[in-house]
Amino acid sequence: MVGPGRQERAWIRGAQSGSASDLEALFREHWPRAHRAAYLVVQDAAAAEDIAQEAFLAAVRNLDRFDRRRPFAPWLHRIVVNRAIDWARTRKLRRETAEIEHSDEADTGEFGNPFSDGVAAGLSALQPEHRAVIVLRYLLEYTPGEIADLLELPRGTVNSRLRRGLDRLEEILDRGQR
Amino acid sequence: MSGDTEVRRALQRIQAPDELEAQRRAWPLVRGAFEAREPVTWHRRNLIPLLAAAAVVVLLAAVLSPPGRALVGSVRDAFESEAPKAKPALTSLPAPGPLLVNSPTGPWMVRSDGSTRHLTPWWEGAWSPQAKFVAVTRAHQLAAIDPHAQGEVHWTVSRRGAVHAARWSPQAGDRVAYLNGRQLRVIAGDGTDDGVLRRRVGATPPAWRPGGDRELAFATIDGRIELAETDDGRTVWRTRPGEVPTQLAWSEDGKRLLALGPRTLRAWTDNGQKLWTIGLPVGPSGIAFVRGSHRFVLIRYSAATGRSDLVLYQAESNPGEARFLWSAAGDFGSMAMSPNGKWLLVGWVNANEWLFLRLTASKVTAVSGIAELFGGSTRRKRVEDVFPKSVSWCCPASP
C-alpha cells in the first residue's frame, strides 16, 4: 500500500489536533467509496449507511492512536468490509431461519436483489466473503496481497476467492445472456 | 465477459441509493462524535511524566480548596469510582422533597423518610408543580389524583386510544399535556377543556418550557422538535428533521432544550437556535440538567467496555470537554436531580441499586434492592425488566 499523500497527512494531523474542518475533508474524501463498498457487500441501503457511519465513528474514536505515516483508507476499509461481512452473514442466517419457519410463504422481497442486471446482479449471488474480496479488488483497487493483510487471510485464500468469485460471476452472466 | 476490466467498470459505475443524502446525514454524527471525544494532545502523548506531575498538583489543589471553589465550580470533577457499600434499605432521602417513581408495577411515591406508597391501579404518573397531585394514566384513562390522600381521584377523562406520557405545566399547573395514540392533547388542570394540540407526533413525552408556562416542546414523527404556544396552537419554532428523541429536557431557566435520541444528543436555545449535536454510542442513555445552570449530566454507555459513565457537558455554544463524574460496569437507568440541586439520583440497573451522588463533594451513597422496593421480583425476571424506568424528585422544573 502506498503511503498517504501530503494533503491527507495534513488532514489527519489537523484532525488529531482538533480541527473539525480537516476531519470533514477526510470524511468527504473517504465517505463515498466506504459507503459504496459497504453497499456492494451487504446490498441493503440502510445497512450500508449504518456500517459506513459506524466505521467513521470508530475511526474518530481511535483517531488519536492512528499513525499518520500510514494511509487512512485501508484502515477505514478494513472496518467497513469486516462489518459488512458480519452483517451479511447474520442476515443470511436470519433469512435461512425465516425460510425454515415460513417455507410456505411467498418471499416478501425484503432480501431481494437490489441490482437489476449485469455484473452487479451477479455479485448478489456470491457469498459475502467472495463479494468482499471482489469489491476490495475491483472497486477499491487493492492488490491481492493488500486484501490478505486487510482481511487477515492467507494470500492463497484471497486469490482463490477472487478466482471463484469471478468464475461464478461469469457463469451467472453467461446464463443471463443465453 | 471480458474479465477484470468489465467487473471493475461495472462496480465503479454503481452508486448506493441516496448516496449524497446518506453522506449529509452521517456528517453531523461524525462531527458530533469528534466534538465529544477527549482529544489526546501532543503533550499528553509525549510528556506523560509531566502530565502526571501536573495531575498531582491539580489533585492537591482540589483537596486543599473548599468544595464550592473546586475546579469546575459547583460540581466536582470526579467521584471515587469504587462502588460504595450499599445500604440494604432506603431509610431516608438525602435531600428534601418526595420522589415519584415509575416502575413496571406502576407509579410509587417515596417520602423523605423512605416510606413508599403504591399509586394503584395506575400505570405511570407525573407530579403537579407542588406535588399536591399526580397526573396518572392507565390504558385509555388520564386522571389527577391526590397521592397524600389514599390516591383520591379528583378528575378523570377517557379517550379511545392509549393514553400516556402526561406532563403537568410547571408554574401555574393549569394544564396537562399528554399523548393519546399519535395525538398530542392538552387539558386544563381541573380536567376541563380537553383538546388536540397536534394530530400526529412522535412518541417522545412532551416537555413544558419553564418560565413560558404555556409553551410546550414535543417531537414530530420525523424527529423535528417543535415549540408550540398551547393557548392558540401556534408554532413558535420548529427544527429540521432528525432522530425521534426518547427524552426532551429543559434547563431550569427554560433557556436551553436538549433532545436525547438513541444515537445523538441535540441542543437548542429557547428561540430555536441550534447549538450543537453530539453523537452517542448505542446503548442506555439519559440526561439531567444541573439546577440553576446550563450544565447537564449525560449517561454514556460504552459497548466496548460494558461500562456506563456519568459525564458533565454544557448546553452552551459548544458542549465543552466531557467531564467525567462516575463510572460503573453495566447500565445506568433513570436520573433525577434533587430540588436543592445538591444530589443526583442514578439508577444502577445491573446492581439493582440507586446511587445518590452529592454534586458538591465527592460523596456517593448506594441503596440496594430497588426493584423489590417497588414491587418487582428478580427471582424469575431479569433485573432490567423490573427496575424502575423513571424517577422525578419533586418539584422538577422540567419533567
The helix-helix angle for A20-42 and B19-36 (nearest 10°) equals 130
Domains for chain B: give ranges and CATH numbers: 65-393 (2.130.10.10)
Hey, of B14, B25, B35, which one would you mutate to test binding to chain A, going by the most A CBs within 10 A of its CB?
B14
Sign of the C-alpha dihedral computed for residues B356, B361, B363 and B364 taken in this order: positive
Per residue in A11-68, pLDDT (tens digit) is: 998 998 888 889 999 999 999 999 999 999 988 888 888 889 888 888 888 888 888 7
pLDDT, one tens digit for every residue, chain B (399 residues): 456 777 788 787 787 877 888 888 888 878 877 877 655 555 555 544 444 444 444 444 443 443 323 323 345 444 555 567 888 888 889 999 999 999 999 999 999 888 999 998 999 999 998 889 999 999 999 999 999 888 899 999 999 989 999 999 987 768 999 999 999 999 999 999 999 999 999 999 999 999 876 899 999 999 999 999 999 999 999 999 988 999 999 999 999 999 999 888 999 999 999 999 988 877 778 999 998 899 999 998 877 777 888 988 999 988 887 777 888 888 998 899 999 888 999 999 999 999 999 887 667 889 999 999 998 887 778 888 899 999 999 875 444
Is beta strand B86-87 parallel, antiparallel or unpaired with respect to B363-368? parallel
Enumerate chain B positions whose Cβ falls within 8 A of a Cβ in A. Answer: 1, 3-4, 6-8, 10-12, 14-19, 22-23, 25-27, 29-31, 33-35, 37, 39-42, 45, 279, 281
Cell of B34: 469528534
- The reported pTM is 0.58
The helix-helix angle for A20-42 and A6-16 (nearest 10°) equals 110
Show residues of chain A in contact with B278, CB under 8 Å: none
> What CATH number is given for A6-177 in this structure?
1.20.140.160
Is the confidence metric ipTM above 0.90 for this complex?
Answer: no
B211-to-B24, B208, B340, B385 alpha-carbon distances in Å: 36, 9, 18, 36
Q: How far apart are CA B358 and CA B346, in angstroms?
A: 11
Phi, psi of B170 (to 5 degrees): -75, -35
Cell of B367: 441503596
B22 vs A60: CB contact, 8 Å cut-off?
A: no
Q: How far apart are CA B139 and CA B399, in angstroms?
A: 21
